[in-house]
Amino acid sequence: MLRYSTFILFHLLLMTTARAQELLTMEEAIAIAVENNHDLRIAKNNTEIAHIEASTLNSGYLPSLSASGGVNYSDENQRVTFLDGTSTAVDGAVTESYNASITAEYLIFDGLVRKFTQNRNEEALTLAQLQERQQVENTIISIYENYFNVAFQQQVVENLKLNIENSKDRLLRAQKQLKYGQGTTLDELNAKVDLNNDSITYTEAVRDLKNLKRSLNLVLGRSITTNFEIDTTVVFVPTLEEQKILKSAEDKNIQAILAKQDMLLSELDIKINKASFLPKINGSGSYRWNESQNPPTSFALANESYGINLGLNLSWNIFDGSAATRVKTSKITKQNREIELIRVKDQLLTDVLNAFETYDIAQYTLQAEENNLMTNELNFSRTRKQYSLKQITAVEFRQAQINLFNARNNHVRAKYDLKIAEVQLLQLGGVLLD
Long-range contacts: 72-81, Cβ < 8 Å, 24+?
72/96, 72/97, 72/98, 76/295, 78/295, 78/297, 80/297
Residue 13 has what pLDDT?
43
Reference 418, options 143, 159, 150, 234; nearest CA is 234
- How many angstroms separate the most distant Cα atoms in the chain? 148
Rounded to 10 deg, the angle between the 185-220 and 26-36 helix axes is 40
**Alpha-carbon distance 326 to 319, whole Å?**
13
CB 303 within 8 A of CB 292: yes
- CATH of the domain spanning 2-64+110-278+320-428: 1.20.1600.10
Per-residue pLDDT of 44-102, as tens digits, reads 999 999 999 999 888 889 999 999 999 988 877 777 777 777 777 777 778 888 999 99
- Asked whether the beta carbons of 146 and 212 are under 8 A apart, the reply is yes
Full-model pTM: 0.84
Taking alpha carbons only, the member of 218, 213, 224 closest to residue 40 is 218
- List, in sequence order, every residue forming a beta bridge with 101; answer none if it has no partner: 68, 288
pLDDT at position 76 is 78
pLDDT of residue 299: 67
Q: For 311, which DSSP code? A: E
**Alpha-carbon distances, residue 316 vs 92, 269, 413 (angstroms):** 51, 20, 70
Strand partners, 315: 280
Q: Domain locations in the chain?
A: 2-64+110-278+320-428
**In the prediction, which pLDDT does 83 show?**
72
pLDDT at 20: 52
Task: State the SS3 of 334-393.
Answer: HHHHHHHHHHHHHHHHHHHHHHHHHHHHHHHHHHHHHHHHHHHHHHHHHHHHHHHCCCCC
Segment holding 93, helix H or strand E: strand 87-109
Give pLDDT, residue 22: 86
**Binned average pLDDT, 10 residues per bin, the chain of 434 residues:** 41 46 92 95 96 91 92 81 74 84 92 92 96 96 97 95 92 86 86 94 97 97 95 90 94 96 96 90 92 74 86 87 89 96 96 97 97 96 90 91 95 97 97 91
